Structure 1
Amino acid sequence: MYVVMKSLEVEASNGMIRHLRTRHTTEYAEYEKLNQPKPTTSPSLNQPTVSDAFKRREPYSRDSTRWKDITFRIMEVICLDEQPLSVVEDKGFRRLLSCLDPRYDPPGRKYLTDVCLPTLYQTVNTNIDRLLKDSVYISFTSDIWSADACPMSLLSLTAHFIDSDFERHNIVLHCQDFTGSYSAEALVNAFSGMFQSRGIQREKIHAILTDNAKNMQKAMRDADFPGLPCVAHTLQLAVHEGVLSQRSILDITASGRRIVGHFKHSPLAYTRLENVQKQLGQPIKKTPPGCVHSMEQYIKLALAAYAAEHELPCTFTIHQWKLIENMVSILAPFEELTQQISSSTASAADVIPCIRALTRLLEKTVESDHGVKTSKTVLLEAVRRRFADIDTQKLYAIATMLDPRYKDRYFPEDLKPTVRDLFRDVVTAHCHTELPSTSSVEVPGSSRSTDKSPPACSLQAMFAELVEEDTGQTDEEIAIVSQINQYLAEAVMPRSGQPLAYWQANKGRFPALAQAARAYLCSPCTSVDSERLFSTAANVIDDKINRLTSKNAEMFIVIKRNLPFMIET
């Protein structure tokens, strides 16, 4: 029965197909197209042989691209994460690599030291040279550091400059071995060698910031480098004078060191203090080295509760606690100011406004001065003495004028005309070829013709000569004065504004000023960047990584500090 039904179904289907073929030719063509037999696929002829399958499990050749890529990524990890070179020989690290790619056989420590490290260093150096070519003027910070893990001293040199897009760059150029005497003569020779190795001409050196050490300052004078002292160090010296000036504050500082030392050297005492702070609902904070300002972290109630049950080396009286509060109030602006000028965006333009604001604050008499007036008076005198000449220092004054947040608003009235004259001369000297021709610079109120210069022996030439004699200025100078007047007449930016963003947006309006801004706003006001560099050096050269040569240590540090910026770009 099933066979009969199946045959009837096939016959009916064939009849319908015949009907389509004879009566509906278009539909039959579509049917034929849809029901064409599909080509049969033959088995793949590219099936790997047994030898090929075994070959794909063999380790990578050291000449292969894959092996080189992995190896240099390992070198980057070691430099960026401050790992020892011997990590490639550690069992756990090799097991990890074997899991990720069984065909990769990592090299030994010597290969990384002899091949990978110099190659990566050269790559970074090539990028540094490319960036330096886009610099007009360069400022530098420098410092000396001695390692604890091995007998090694390093002299750093960090470059700070602004490119044509008004982006700030902070690049470590050198961190070289510095042995022997730290004399001014040795420092001059070292700086000259570092500049020469990078091809940096003396004309491009805008300023070199160092600490206040006498040998550094003498080296800057002997080499005739435009040196600047670190403002943060100078402020610290002023604070030191103020704290030492009052006996009661000295006694409190000595007691504070003893209390902090009690908790720092006794884990049991520190644990007890933490428990007291938890019970009182206070935040737990680490104990820094003892000083008046650090006592702010120890709430009076927590210490009193601790002393009620446990012994302390000394305690504070109610009067001393009041002095602590008042001294902390006086020192708070110094801490705030130090943080501001130590930021990566701070420049020499911040010095004059910050010192004037700090001086004015110290001049005011407030209730919290009670008991610490002597310290406050000495602080004010120390700040005035140590920063007595900043208004007349060219680097500081011009940088302040070129910062759209400050301009000439922070100079004394009797000094403003002198600063403006100096400002005009500096801007004129920096415009050079970057300043557009006078025909493209709009001078308000001017009706100068933009036509070609008339013949020397013509009536029109005499008119032009008489006008120039009357003003005493060339067309270029008039254009620069016009830019300066328009720039100074505009309102200043808020202190939260970005000066470099301002100049990027307004370099078309004030081309001469923008060119000078690239030079004078590149200089930082502290040498903090070099100190941060040596935090990296302390991690690179420690008890676990103490077999590096000074040359390899320099390559490590230069890669560590510069490679992240190059990866981002």
Structure 2
Amino acid sequence: MKPKTSFIWNYFDEVCATTAKCKLCEKIYSRKGGTTSSLKSHLKSVHATEYEELIKLESSKKCSQRPTTSTTPLQEVKKQITVQEAFIKNQKWCSSNPKSKEIDKYISEMIALQDLPFNFVEGIGFKRLLQFMVPNYQLRGRQFFTDNICGELYERLAKNIKDLLKQFQKMSFTTDIWSEPSSNVSLLSLTAHGINENFKRIKIILKCHTFNERHTGDQIQEKINEMLMEWGITNDQIHCFVRDSGSNMIRAMRLADIPDINCTVHQLQLCVRTKKSNQIE
């Protein structure tokens, strides 16, 4: 007689070729065709605990019968290297990584050169592009680039500008006060104009200072002096200041003892507005 290999016979005794007796409930069941399907069905529906044991035994047998592949030492080393490479490839760089710091620098310069808002770095499109091109790069938030640009980048750029200002024996300046409607603040600007030794005209916006105080001549003079001192500009380097014809601006120049002239464009604008106003009336 052929030996029984199925674990189902742990729970049944063979009566004949077409029937078997359950060891648990001693009922006799038909097994037409000599299969064990009906016996499993009985175990599943009547003896659930034993059926679970049967399934576990069959699963263990299948696992033990799976062919094992032997690998050479060289193949094992190659496999380990591949795993290490995959881990390194997906690992994020730390903030001190030279490549990461270089990317930070270029992003900071891009924001400054193109006058982009700081929240640009938090946009979904920018993040997707960067993760596709440099998956190891750890994305930064707007606060990181605000600190980086207003701190390290500004200091480096300010030093270069101060060196550039030293090339001019004399400089002219334009200044103005205007309100920024989006942020509801007033700004006082200072722009330097000069010609270098190669007779090339250079214009540098030195400052846009938030002006929260009253727009009096005394306050304007104080702020302008602060901006000139910040850039190391002395009175003997000033050729003249171009300003509007507001009485507060005129007084500020007098208090600061700075040579100044009216802005011709501003004068023309006042004339045009006056003419339009008279026509409407």
Q: After superposition, what is the alpha-carbon deviation per residue over 1:422-456, rounded to whole angstroms, capped at 9, x for unaligned?
A: xxxxxxxxxxxxxxxxxxxxxxxxxxxxxxxxxxx
Of residues 180, 197, 200 in structure 2, which corresponds to 1:167?
A: 200
Please say if 1:49 is aligned against 2:81: yes
Q: After superposition, what is the alpha-carbon deviation per residue over 1:106-142, rounded to whole angstroms, capped at 9, x for unaligned?
A: 1112211223432121121111011011110011000
Counting strand residues as a fraction of each chain, which structure ranks higher? 2
Percent identity of the aligned residues? 35
Q: After superposition, what is the alpha-carbon deviation per residue over 1:316-355, rounded to whole angstroms, capped at 9, x for unaligned?
A: xxxxxxxxxxxxxxxxxxxxxxxxxxxxxxxxxxxxxxxx
Of residues 217, 236, 251 in structure 1, which corresponds to 2:250?
A: 217
Please say if 1:109 is aligned against 2:142: yes
**Aligned-pair distance for 1:241?**
5.0
CA 56–159 in structure 1, closer or farther in 2 if over 3 Å, else same? same
Of residues 132, 141, 145 in structure 2, which corresponds to 1:99?
A: 132
Answer yes or no: is the 8 Å Cα contact 2:94–2:138 preserved in 1.
no
Calculate the aligned-residue CA RMSD, in Å.
2.4
In structure 2, what is the Cα distance between the partners aligned to 1:218 and 1:242?
A: 27
- Output the amino acid matched with 1:120: L
Of residues 76, 85, 102 in structure 2, which corresponds to 1:69?
A: 102
Aligned to 1:187: 220
Q: Secondary structure at the match of 1:49?
A: helix
Structure 1 unaligned blocks of 5 or more: 1-46, 255-569
Please say if 1:60 is aligned against 2:93: yes
CA 236–151 in structure 1, closer or farther in 2 if over 3 Å, else same? closer
More relative contact order, 1 or 2 (CA 8 Å, 6+ apart): 1
Aligned to 1:230: 263
Aligned to 1:154: 187
Answer yes or no: is the 8 Å Cα contact 1:158–1:172 preserved in 2.
yes
1:259-270 aligned within 5 A: none
Counting helix residues as a fraction of each chain, which structure ranks higher? 1
Q: Secondary structure at the match of 2:184?
A: coil
Please say if 1:141 is aligned against 2:146: no
1:400-415 aligned within 5 A: none
Q: After superposition, what is the alpha-carbon deviation per residue over 1:462-494, rounded to whole angstroms, capped at 9, x for unaligned?
A: xxxxxxxxxxxxxxxxxxxxxxxxxxxxxxxxx
**Aligned-pair distance for 1:90?**
2.6
Q: Secondary structure at the match of 2:194?
A: strand
Q: Secondary structure at the match of 2:156?
A: helix
Q: After superposition, what is the alpha-carbon deviation per residue over 1:32-60, rounded to whole angstroms, capped at 9, x for unaligned?
A: xxxxxxxxxxxxxxx89346413243222
- Output the amino acid matched with 1:67: S
Answer yes or no: is the 8 Å Cα contact 2:108–2:148 preserved in 1.
no
Q: Secondary structure at the match of 1:63?
A: coil
In structure 1, what is the Cα distance between the partners aligned to 2:218 and 2:235?
A: 18
1:488-527 aligned within 5 A: none
Answer yes or no: is the 8 Å Cα contact 1:156–1:175 preserved in 2.
yes
CA 242–89 in structure 1, closer or farther in 2 if over 3 Å, else same? closer
- Output the amino acid matched with 1:63: S
Q: Secondary structure at the match of 1:134?
A: coil
In structure 2, what is the Cα distance between the partners aligned to 1:241 and 1:110?
A: 47
CA 150–236 in structure 1, closer or farther in 2 if over 3 Å, else same? closer
In structure 2, what is the Cα distance between the partners aligned to 1:71 and 1:243?
A: 52
1:94-493 aligned within 5 A: 94-241=127-274, 250=279
**Aligned-pair distance for 1:92?**
2.6
Of residues 60, 81, 90 in structure 1, which corresponds to 2:114?
A: 81
Answer yes or no: is the 8 Å Cα contact 1:88–1:109 preserved in 2.
yes
Answer yes or no: is the 8 Å Cα contact 2:193–2:201 preserved in 1.
yes
Give the structure-2-normalised TM-score.
Answer: 0.66
Aligned to 2:69: none
- Output the amino acid matched with 2:81: T
Answer yes or no: is the 8 Å Cα contact 2:253–2:260 preserved in 1.
yes
- Output the amino acid matched with 1:66: K
Give the paired residue count. Answer: 204
Q: Secondary structure at the match of 1:118?
A: helix
Aligned to 1:510: none
Structure 2 unaligned blocks of 5 or more: 1-77
In structure 1, what is the Cα distance between the partners aligned to 2:114 and 2:197?
A: 32
In structure 2, what is the Cα distance between the partners aligned to 1:127 and 1:103?
A: 33
Answer yes or no: is the 8 Å Cα contact 1:75–1:117 preserved in 2.
no
**Aligned-pair distance for 1:237?**
3.0
CA 63–79 in structure 1, closer or farther in 2 if over 3 Å, else same? same
- Output the amino acid matched with 1:179: N
**Aligned-pair distance for 1:72?**
2.1
Greater CA radius of gyration, 1 or 2? 2
- Output the amino acid matched with 1:145: W
Q: After superposition, what is the alpha-carbon deviation per residue over 1:195-250, rounded to whole angstroms, capped at 9, x for unaligned?
A: 111111111111001111111012112222101110111223334455566xxxx2
In structure 2, what is the Cα distance between the partners aligned to 1:239 and 1:86?
A: 40
Give the structure-1-normalised TM-score.
Answer: 0.34
CA 192–116 in structure 1, closer or farther in 2 if over 3 Å, else same? closer
